[in-house]
Amino acid sequence: MHLYDVLRHPLVTEKNTDLQIQGKYVFEVADGANKMQVKQAVEMAFKVDVTAVNIMTVHGKKKRMGRREVQKPSWKKAIVTLKAGDKIELFEGV
């Protein structure tokens, strides 16, 4: 997997903006990505030093459409901790 395919998009929620004070940023990542690939992709894309990466799978919810019950797809998210003093400018002012 190429490093440009690892990061899908940043996740901007209230909880995630509170994590930015601690130097943690949250991204949706590709299903086949592992911690080392996420670390290399963030360091290459944003020119920062990553100290830790936590990855979790968010399971898809069941939704009802009329009589049918549909399963939304599962996806992966990564919480990336940066070295003290580093910032990702993409998230500033959100």
Q: Would residue 78 count as lying in a domain?
A: yes
Q: Would residue 20 count as lying in a domain?
A: yes
Q: Whole-model pTM?
A: 0.87
Phi–psi pair at 89, nearest 5 degrees: -70, -15
Q: Which domain holds residue 9?
A: 3-84
Nearest to residue 30, comparing CAs of 63, 4, 6?
Answer: 6
Number of domains in the chain: 1
Q: Would residue 94 count as lying in a domain?
A: no
Alpha helices (runs of H) in the chain, residue ranges in sequence order: 14-19, 35-46
For 8-25, the pLDDT digits (tens) are 999 999 999 899 999 999
CA-CA distances (angstroms) from residue 94 to 10, 14, 18, 54, 59? 12, 10, 12, 23, 27
Q: Would residue 56 count as lying in a domain?
A: yes
For 28-40, the pLDDT digits (tens) are 999 999 999 999 9
Which CATH number belongs to the domain containing residue 46 in this structure? 3.30.70.330
Q: Would residue 48 count as lying in a domain?
A: yes
